[in-house]
Amino acid sequence: MKKNIFSLLIILVIIVSLGISCKTTGDAPDDSSKLNVAKKAVDESRKRAMDFDGPAYFPSEWEELEARYKTAGTVEECNALAAGYDEIFKKSIALYAQAKEDEIMASRERLINTGFLDYVPDYLENADNTALSAKSQYEAGEYYKAKETADAALKEYETLNMGADVFLARQEVIDRGFVQYDPDNFSKADEVAQSALKAYDAGNKEEAVTKAEEALLRYNLVLSNGWTAYASDRRASALKERELAIAERANIASRETFRTADIFCEQAEEMYKLEHFNDASIAYVEAEAMFAISRKETEEKRLRAQESIQSAREKIAESSEAATEAGRIIEGGSK
């Protein structure tokens, strides 16, 4: 009986001890839990700093924090790291916002300078409103919202710039008279460009960009084919002008001008072989003009020579007449 009571007392003591132990453990978190919380706070601060380009703006400070980040093992070290990353984040916000604003304004200015908006003036309003919303969000301290909205504004300006690129490529084709060299591709490019505008107006921006890229490729193809054909035409004209110059002996009578023309022609031929057709075209035009000038100079020299000969003949005739008259006078006087 005493033995049983003793055993029960021992069991009771163990149970009470376990209860106290469990209560203690449940009431106070252990050190590992505190450290995990601190590490999570560090990672969050670190991500914020990275999201706003902190490493790029403050590289030396970032490197120092990163070195400590790899070895941090106590709550105190993690708290100090989080404070350091937060400091970089705070300093980076203004710099990031200014850089983004500069990027947006540069894209907007480029868009305006293309002249594209003269035909679609309403397109600028949406992009401008988005940019202004980003500015308001930044001033309200909603930095992540401002970042997202600013990116949306920049994307809108870039989408419009894609449209402007299409517009400029088309204008270049027309201004250079290259439609005649590839009318089918030009017509197809116009068709695709119209589809891009319709998609944009319908709010299908991704489709609009895809269509605009296709239109741009087609206009550039027309340009490329145009330069090839144009260079061939200019080459034929320059070489024909050279033949005429030689036939008129300009290579002798206007040696310097002809030689300059020949240098342009040689450069053009080299670029033509390399398929640099736009540069070749320019050089052929220069060569053709100089060969024509050499012919003109030769003709002018020939006319001056003829005038000199005629003048000399007239003077000789006058001298001959004077001599004859003098002879008559002398003969008359002697009689």
What is the pLDDT confidence band of residue 121, given thresholds at 50, 70 and 90? confident
The CA dihedral of 92, 94, 100, 102, to the nearest 10 degrees, is: -130
* Whole-model pTM over 0.85: no
Write out pLDDT tens, residues 177-211.
Answer: 999 999 999 999 999 999 999 999 999 999 999 99
Cβ–Cβ < 8 Å for 147, 135: no
Cβ–Cβ < 8 Å for 182, 226: yes
Return d(Cα 151, Cα 292) in angstroms, integer: 57
Return d(Cα 75, Cα 320) in angstroms, integer: 124
Write out pLDDT tens, residues 262-302.
Answer: 999 999 999 999 999 999 999 999 999 999 999 999 999 88
The domains of the chain are located at: 231-320
Q: Does residue 70 register a pLDDT over 60? A: yes
Return d(Cα 312, Cα 180) in angstroms, integer: 55
Non-local (6+) Cβ contacts of 181 within 8 A are: 222, 225, 226, 228, 229, 230
Cβ–Cβ < 8 Å for 263, 304: no
